[in-house]
Structure 1
Amino acid sequence: MDHHNQFRRAAIDRGIPDDEIDEFTDHLRFAIHLGSAGDGEQVVGQRGGLPRLPVGAEWPSDGSGSPLPFVASVDCAVLPRVGGLPLPEDGSLLFFLHHENDLLAPLGTDVPEFARVVYVPAGAETAVASPPPGHDSTTPFHEDIPFLTPERPLSASVQPELPEWIEDDEYDFEESDQVIEEQLLGELEHVDDLCELVDELWPESDRGLVVNLGGYCSEIGGQNDPWTQMAHIGITSRLDDSDFPGSERFQPGEVEKYRLTREWVTLAQFPTDSEVHYGCFLISRDDLADKRFDRTLSFTMFTE
């Protein structure tokens, strides 16, 4: 299903001008929300437990050889499809993260040392991995969090997501973002009607969120969001100014941040088993389309 076209048709039926619909839709994203699977629901992945790795493959580890905790896996063949998130059509994705070490690691490295995304192609011979020696459900890897956690089957639903500055009338703009976001918001005279339509078409799910694929990065704690961090460490977008109409009105750093939000997507984000850490994996659209998951970046966030 083309969710953006579904929204566009409904907005046209309400008499909202085409230029506003196009501007608003440019900021509307759809995410695959994964929650605990109930009876009769299709299982699309798992949180915790033991991963299925290719036969003969070693458990992913950090630079020192210490195994990384397994977070979750998804079966791409049974996931719903959403625009702007070109996930593989088959095979599986496995996510590994040591959230405490990743939070403390310096940003800007080509391959995060304490986070890993493994793509297992369809047809590969796999087996449930054995726990690494000395690492099981009784072994804590950080504080009192065990290395292995109980397996939870996951089911999927599609949910719309908008940037907070559109949804929240009282959003507190960062000084560096204020000019660009207020300018964009000022071009949307029917923003309340458009937000209301989103809520009508896709009512908010009441299931607990376990893993989120796609959508926007959540703003967690008091630190800079991943896009701002990427701009600060010199990761630049390949898009040129023609892809950002009116870019001459804004500061170069503001334009770069917004180009990054268009070129990079949230591959996965999730609460960790820690009460104060939140995982977030980002990947460029080109790398995602070409299955270059070794180029995924990790931005573990501290919630306090």
Structure 2
Amino acid sequence: MELYGPFRREAIARGIPADQVDRFAEQLRFAIWVGGGVRGEDVVGQSGGLPRLPAGTEWPSERGIRLPFVASLDCAALPKVEKLPLPVDGSLLFFLGPEKAFDACSRGYDAYARVLHVPAGTETAVRELPSDGEVPRPYPEYGLHAEVVPELPPGLEPDDEDMDDRLMVASDTVKQLISELTHVDELIALVQDLWPTETGLSSLRIGGYTRRIGGSYSPEEQMARASLRARLETKPDLPRSERIRWRREEESRLIREWVPLAQFPTEYEVHFGRFLIRFDDLAAGRFDKMRSFPAFTE
């Protein structure tokens, strides 16, 4: 699916300089939103219910706790999106124990979250709910349909109309872009013109940018702050101004290098799931490198 080409051609046809179009397009991402209802003719996955796992594979668990099954996606049926290197076939299955995952994340480590890629041609079977021990709360079962949605980072989103508000939420990269480009508003408007957003609620979002939930730090902020703490162990006298500059630069780098693999509300109401992965790990199929950053919604 060609997306950036039409954007670039139309922007240049409207008289916007090509160099500004290209710099803005570097911040434009396209996400796949999946949910129930009529979003397309094809079913691309399943929310909830029971997972199809490779023959002989046990229900994913951690420290004796079985993880709730969130959803599965048929990679071959998903729209092909530029710069989002998902597997071309097989299935992706998502598991998350949100309460314990949130507690683990607040302590600085990943746990109780799992992504499985089942390659095409693998013998699979529906895995019934375990009959012993704690049984994961099932998610409602229904088919998932997909649509492709453009996403811009904070500071460039259409709702960020006030310049002061834009700069308050923007990364250093976006701030620099806003200060140097003279056609930002026209480029944002073009995104809306080319891809009018008439979307309903999504069960799960793949790609795009991470959502800030409640008053919590974004995943990139969390990682940047953890990196800063590690750096201060060797440079404890780093001036405050330098700490802030370094952390913001690190956050901008992380935003460039990481992408949401899945973002979704959970059946536990006050918890929201966020799985992130580096672009290069996604392209290489290294799903064990995924990191979980669940959020508390209240």
TM score, norm. by length of structure 2: 0.87
Cα distance change of structure 1 residues 175 and 16 upon mapping to structure 2, 3 Å threshold: closer
Task: Assess if the C-alpha contact under 8 Å between 2:149 and 2:195 holds in 1.
Answer: yes
Counterpart amino acid of residue 128 in structure 1 = V
- What does residue 241 of structure 1 align with? none
Q: Which secondary structure does the structure 2 equivalent of 1:77 belong to?
A: coil
Task: Assess if the C-alpha contact under 8 Å between 1:30 and 1:159 holds in 2.
Answer: yes
Identity of counterpart residues, as a percentage?
A: 52
1:117-166, Cα deviation, whole Å (9 max, x unpaired): 01100000001111012479xx6x5xxxxx11231100111010001211
Task: Assess if the C-alpha contact under 8 Å between 1:44 and 1:74 holds in 2.
Answer: yes
Cα distance change of structure 1 residues 224 and 206 upon mapping to structure 2, 3 Å threshold: same
- What does residue 84 of structure 1 align with? 83
- What does residue 278 of structure 1 align with? 272
The equivalent position to 1:202 in structure 2, one of 195, 205, 211, is 195
State the 1:253 CA deviation: 1.8
State the 1:177 CA deviation: 5.7
Partners of 1:217 and 1:27 in 2: how far apart? Answer: 13
Structure 1 unaligned residues grouped into runs of 5+: 142-146, 236-249
Q: Does 1:24 align with 2:24?
A: yes
Task: Assess if the C-alpha contact under 8 Å between 1:219 and 1:225 holds in 2.
Answer: yes
Q: Which secondary structure does the structure 1 equivalent of 2:66 belong to?
A: coil
TM score, norm. by length of structure 1: 0.86
Counterpart amino acid of residue 70 in structure 2 = V
State the 1:40 CA deviation: 7.2
- What does residue 95 of structure 1 align with? 94
The equivalent position to 2:121 in structure 1, one of 117, 120, 123, is 123
Q: Which secondary structure does the structure 2 equivalent of 1:27 belong to?
A: coil
Structure 1 residues 1-304: aligned runs within 5 Å: 1-38=1-38, 41-62=41-62, 64-106=63-105, 108-109=108-109, 112-134=110-132, 147-167=137-157, 168-170=160-162, 172=165, 181-234=174-227, 251-304=245-298
Partners of 1:103 and 1:201 in 2: how far apart? Answer: 38
State the 1:234 CA deviation: 2.1
Q: Which secondary structure does the structure 2 equivalent of 1:216 belong to?
A: coil
Partners of 1:39 and 1:155 in 2: how far apart? Answer: 5
Task: Assess if the C-alpha contact under 8 Å between 2:54 and 2:122 holds in 1.
Answer: yes
Counterpart amino acid of residue 49 in structure 1 = G
Structure 2 unaligned residues grouped into runs of 5+: 229-243
State the 1:181 CA deviation: 3.9
Cα RMSD, aligned residues only: 2.4
Partners of 1:268 and 1:81 in 2: how far apart? Answer: 16
Cα distance change of structure 1 residues 29 and 40 upon mapping to structure 2, 3 Å threshold: closer
State the 1:176 CA deviation: 9.2
Partners of 2:272 and 2:145 in 1: how far apart? Answer: 21
Task: Assess if the C-alpha contact under 8 Å between 1:11 and 1:194 holds in 2.
Answer: yes
Task: Assess if the C-alpha contact under 8 Å between 1:37 and 1:43 holds in 2.
Answer: no
